[in-house]
Amino acid sequence: MGQLVRSTLCSINPLLVSTLWHGPRIIGQDRGTSSFVSESKESRRDPLLADLQIGVVIPAAGSGQRMGMKYKQFMHLSGQPVLKHVLNMFEDQCWVKEVVVALPQAQVQEPPGWFSEYKKVRRVLGGSTRRDSVWNGIKDLSQGLDLVVVHDGARPLTPQRTFVDCIKIASKGVGAVSGVKVVDTLKVSNSEKEVLGTLERKNVWRAQTPQVFPYDVIFSAYHKAIKNNWDASDDSGIVEKAGDKVKMVESSPLNFKITVATDMDMAEFVFTHCRS
């Protein structure tokens, strides 16, 4: 399987393959191991992080239809549920005050037993859309926070440095969105797949999470979105519609979301071959 996935990665994106072998370490994959602790200590040395009150919202109520099976966030990756890997990123970080996870109704009523391992984490009912799930999470956060981090419940490979970089930008009063610059040529087609044109890719990014915002900014933007029935494919889209500024923060190609079955294969490959 590993050789097959590696061959697939080579054919898809050489930059991703290079990052797999030489890129940044991943936190949260082995809670308590030296790689996780070293990243955590790096965060503790940053006085900015120590001074901020930060809450985390994790939308994890998706049905997993594109995976062809239910609830991808509870599928096992390297011996643990995907969502557990995500929660491991936050539990021991000094800059995290609290984590709210939006879950499907069944998991809210009867959460997995491993949820009790997390002292900072509480759960809320997810909504019918990602927007509604994030809003439910934001409303459940404590008032008076400085920043809110929104991170996908199916994005388990995020480097710690990405969180820190986004937090530093958002602490200046603007939204911060992690992402990677587009390297492929982008074509626009009609419904018949006839090419209508080619987009200039110089300033085009693939947005990821984390996305980090001042608490007042994201609360106000989502309140307006619910009131006016705005929707967007990510949180920054809602903040943009509310008229607030958002900046891109360069992340890693490793920071992909598990959406389809091949993503799980790639994630398993990363966990197997990119441990510190």
Ordered DSSP codes for 164-177: HHHHHHHTTTSEEE
Query: In which region does residue 21 sit, left (phi positive, over 0), alpha (psi from -120 to 50) or beta (all else)?
Result: alpha
**Stronger pLDDT, 110 or 28, i.e. the higher one:** 110
**Stronger pLDDT, 175 or 17, i.e. the higher one:** 175
Q: How confident is the model at residue 272 (pLDDT cuts 50, 70, 90)?
A: confident
Please provide the distance, in angstroms rounded to a whole number, between the alpha carbons at the two ends of the chain. 21
Q: CB–CB of 238/138 below 8 Å?
A: no
* Ranges 14-28, 133-147, 191-205, 218-232: which has the least confidence: 14-28
223-258 residues labelled b (16+ CB within 10 A) or e (exposed): eebeeeeeeeebbbbbbbebebebebbebbbbbbbb
**pLDDT at site 22:** 43
Give the percent of the chain with pLDDT over 90: 72
The pLDDT tens digits of the residues spanning 167-208 come to 999 999 999 999 999 999 999 999 999 999 999 999 999 999
**Structural domain boundaries in the chain:** 2-273
The whole-number average pLDDT for the span 238-259 is 96
CATH class of 2-273: alpha beta
The pLDDT tens digits of the residues spanning 54-104 come to 999 999 997 655 555 567 899 999 999 999 999 999 998 989 999 999 999
